[in-house]
Structure 1
Amino acid sequence: MSTVLITGCSSGFGLETAKLFLEKGWHVIATMRKTDPSLLPESNNLTLLPLDITSTSSIDNLMQEVKNIDVLVNNAGFGAPVPVELTPLATAQQLMNTNVLGTLSLTQRFLPLMRQQGSGVIINVSSSVTTKAMPLIGLYRASKAALNAWSESLAVEAKPFGIRVHVVLPGRSPETKFGENARAYFAGMDDPAYGKMVNDFVQMAGKTNSPVTYAKDVASTIFAIAIDQNSPFYSSAGEDAKLWLEESQQQSPFCR
């Protein structure tokens, strides 16, 4: 039985991905900051563990419980829809600490195990906004672009050891709380200049009458990558993400 470890399984993409791998008969190690057994179906193939990827001690505790995995899905992330001008440095640091450094820290801990076993798959969940400039997500986009960048280099470095590295690019998901978060962040700011932009963003975030990305789209894309050795480095997830990737001017040799 193959084993997959998935971060950020309390909701959204991570939760649906954990459910899908369980349905397919995998041993699933589902992690989240505060474990909640009621979120996932009871199964002898399920291991639920606490994990905060921004905490070294939390990662240390996880590594004491997990000795070997076949697939690592780095899904846990943090989003903050705020105009670049109004983004507090503390928020920018939290974005980088979670989406870039936290994911990196966990990946670095599992790489020696994968090298030792001569195989492994690392799937990093990024965002299709890295291919398209959009308002209110400049620092979030920057953090995901940084994730893409080190993932590209890691793919080259890890290949000789039999380790595959891939990046998933989901699109706009009405199942996430980006719209609500935008209002919440903006409510605490004094500058009204971006009011219309925030309102437009909130309305756009909740629309489902145009192509969007659902959690099940992301889960199925991740599972397909896990079982297909010929998967491309970048994979879009969701109809809107596919369109954005096709329309982007990105010339990376990893895209095909």
Structure 2
Amino acid sequence: MNGPIAIITGASSGFGLLTALELARSGFQVIATMRNTSKSLELLKKAKILNLESRINVHELDVTSETSITNLQLLLEKTGRVDVLVNNAGYAGAGFVEEITMDEYRKQFETNVFGVIAVTKAVLPLMRRQGQGKIINVSSISGKMAFPGLSPYVASKHAIEGWSESLRLEMKPFGIDVVLIEPGSYKTNIWSTGKQITELSLQSKSPYYKYMRKIEDYIQAEEGHYGDPQEVAKKVVKIAMDKNPTLRFPIGSGVNFTLWIKNQIPWKQWEKIVLKKLKIGK
């Protein structure tokens, strides 16, 4: 492959698809991975329109499968190098803690946490031998602040935040930068087809049903204010080309201000603000 090589997970839609195109447009040879390669049609169609077909290489990858990770390692042995890894694959698990099964929690962590770790471990030996590389983990504002009804997703993103801090400190002496990008709310399918709500919380007999409906109503009411995901894709490419990026990049309308407020006020005041927004009260 000619030019720097970037691997991106979850490239069939959303941030992943747009980032793959932006990386290719910026001169990268992109290994666009996804669990189901039959879903690559939109990516390849857009790549053709932009005359980027020669820079997009689709590869099947299930981040939760050891066999699939091994196949990725074999591919990397052939390419001989990796300059950028974008850990983007993930989904949002939702529901109330009492009603979420342990299996649902485990599935959330298998993709959003252990999948990220497994893919990263596959590229680390190459990057370490190269003496350079960038690992960009797509986190979320949810990795810095919680929200009711989204505990599996929130917990997984908090885990990625802490893990990324440790990994950055480990890899900095080897010339490898680890970066977190923390998007707020954007128009991607993670809040539609990508969100998986436990069935119990959607049933009218659930003690949390009315609360769940208020959360759903709030999310739907806010959809008109969601950002353009292209903004995140462009930011990822900018980070990929930055010679000395910092650890965290919050992005999205109001994200920095919201994080600042949360860190300045007492918790009791913060929870009142959140519950008031959701119209939840005794």
TM-score computed with the length of structure 1 as normaliser = 0.90
CA distance in 1, matches of 2:161, 2:127: 20
166, 173, 177: which one aligns with 1:153:
166
Deviation of 1:109 (Å): 1.3
Assess if the C-alpha contact under 8 Å between 2:201 and 2:209 holds in 1: no
Are 1:197 and 2:211 an aligned pair?
yes
Q: Look up the match of 1:70.
A: 83
Distance 1:60 1:72, change over 3 A: same
**Percent identity between the aligned chains?**
36
81, 99, 102: which one aligns with 2:112:
99
CA distance in 2, matches of 1:182, 1:217: 25
CA distance in 2, matches of 1:154, 1:177: 26
140, 146, 155: which one aligns with 1:127:
140
Distance 1:222 1:156, change over 3 A: same
- Matched residue SS, 1:193: coil
Q: Look up the match of 2:24.
A: 22
CA distance in 1, matches of 2:198, 2:152: 17
- Matched residue SS, 1:19: helix
Assess if the C-alpha contact under 8 Å between 1:183 and 1:198 holds in 2: no
CA distance in 1, matches of 2:261, 2:238: 23
Distance 1:90 1:81, change over 3 A: same
Amino acid at match of 1:219: A
CA distance in 1, matches of 2:109, 2:243: 30
Assess if the C-alpha contact under 8 Å between 2:183 and 2:252 holds in 1: yes
Distance 1:97 1:183, change over 3 A: closer
Deviation of 1:100 (Å): 1.0
Deviation of 1:182 (Å): 5.9
231, 236, 241: which one aligns with 1:217:
231
Distance 1:14 1:59, change over 3 A: same
Deviation of 1:188 (Å): 5.8
Q: Cα RMSD (Å) of the superposition?
A: 2.0
Paired residues for 1:40-55 under 5 Å: 40=43, 41-42=47-48, 43-55=53-65
Deviation of 1:179 (Å): 5.1
Q: Look up the match of 1:254.
A: none
84, 91, 112: which one aligns with 2:125:
112
Q: Look up the match of 1:90.
A: 103
Amino acid at match of 1:56: E
Deviation of 1:155 (Å): 0.3
Distance 1:110 1:29, change over 3 A: same
Deviation of 1:29 (Å): 0.6
Assess if the C-alpha contact under 8 Å between 2:16 and 2:89 holds in 1: yes
* Rg larger in structure: 2
Moved more, 9-18 or 38-47: 38-47
Amino acid at match of 2:169: V
- Matched residue SS, 1:239: coil
Distance 1:141 1:130, change over 3 A: same
Matched residue pairs, number?
Answer: 249
Give CA-to-partner distance per residue, 1:125-152, whole Å, 9 cap, x none. 1110122221111121111111111110
Is there any run of 5+ residues in structure 1 with no aligned partner, and where? 251-256
TM-score computed with the length of structure 2 as normaliser = 0.82
Task: Write out the 4+ residue segments of structure 1 that deviate beyond 6 Å after TM superposition.
Answer: none
Assess if the C-alpha contact under 8 Å between 1:182 and 1:198 holds in 2: no
Distance 1:64 1:183, change over 3 A: closer
Distance 1:183 1:81, change over 3 A: closer
